[in-house]
Structure 1
């Protein structure tokens, strides 16, 4: 259950961060390639193309990252038996 909840948290945080990075990337794209602003074309490009792509990529990446961290934490949390020394 812990792994699933952390994966959902990673999905949400990754989607938010990815959307923000997507907006930034879109604004950079508009400035570098001098996209026209006629009837709001550049704004629609940023918010209907770059932001959703960033959110999807960030959400998947965040979910995978948090899921892997949770799985590794579950593996580490297992108690190990102490090493027994053999007296000679």
Structure 2
């Protein structure tokens, strides 16, 4: 259950971060191509932002799931503290 919850959290955070990076990439693309007007806005918000959100969501979900799986494999057991002989 922990792995699934962390994967969903990674999906949400990755999608938000990817969308933000997609907007930045789209604005950079428009600046380099020197376009303006309504077409440039639709290009950014209907192409770059969804692509960035999809890639970021998948990447975040995979990253968080791998971290959760590795955390489940590494079990750290505490050794009982030994009493000193008096």
What does residue 66 of structure 1 align with? 64
What does residue 82 of structure 1 align with? none
Tell me by how many angstroms 1:35 deviates.
Answer: 2.0
TM-score by length of structure 2 reads: 0.86
CA distance in 2, matches of 1:18, 1:47: 13
Which ranges in structure 1 are unaligned for 5 or more consecutive residues? 80-88
Q: CA RMSD in A?
A: 1.6
Which ranges in structure 2 are unaligned for 5 or more consecutive residues? 78-86
> How many aligned positions are there?
79
What does residue 53 of structure 2 align with? 55
Residue by residue over 1:14-72, the C-alpha shift from the partner in whole angstroms, topping out at 9 and shown as x without a partner, is 000000000000000000011242xx110000000000000000000000000000000
CA distance in 2, matches of 1:71, 1:12: 18
TM-score by length of structure 1 reads: 0.84
What does residue 9 of structure 2 align with? 9
CA distance in 1, matches of 2:20, 2:74: 34
Give 4+ residue runs of structure 1 displaced > 3 Å after superposition: none
